[in-house]
Amino acid sequence: MKTVPYAAIRLGGGVLATLWCIYVFSREGSVPTVFLGLVTFTAGWFAAQRFGRPVGLSNRPPWLDTVLPIAIAAFALLPAALYPFLGTVSIAVAAAIVVLFFAGMSISLGVGPFANVKVGLATK
């Protein structure tokens, strides 16, 4: 194999992550947490479409390296931010909400115009 199957990896990972999130929401979630999950999935989808560009000859880092610190911070802050509205927040549900952002990005990149190339986030 001479090329990396980026599209298959992105689609497979995105679908598996989404299925795990559905499982978590069905066991521990509520209507507001499912709604937040849909919002983060959609935000990830549109972020990938808007900012995902082939890395090519530039030295931009791949998208996961670019977004991972943001996701870690969101995962750390999400339970504290949701507590006043929901009363109790499961760590699994908070993780599922954040993971759906990446699932949205992954699936979006897997079906988008740059499905089989290394992608970085760029504003231009």
DSSP 22-70: HHHHHHH--HHHHHHHHHHHHHHHHHHHHHEEE-TTS-PPBHHHHHHHH
Provide the domain count of the chain: 1
CB atoms within 10 A of CB 30: 14
Per residue in 32-48, pLDDT (tens digit) is 889 999 999 999 999 99
| pLDDT band for position 1 (cuts 50, 70, 90) | low
User: Does residue 117 lie within any of the structural domains?
Assistant: no
Per residue in 4-18, pLDDT (tens digit) is 888 898 999 999 999
pTM of the shown model: 0.81
* Domain enclosing residue 22, as ranges: 6-112
User: Does residue 1 lie within any of the structural domains?
Assistant: no
Question: Residue 78 contacts by C-beta under 8 Å, 6 or more apart in sequence?
Answer: 89, 94, 97, 98
User: Does residue 124 lie within any of the structural domains?
Assistant: no
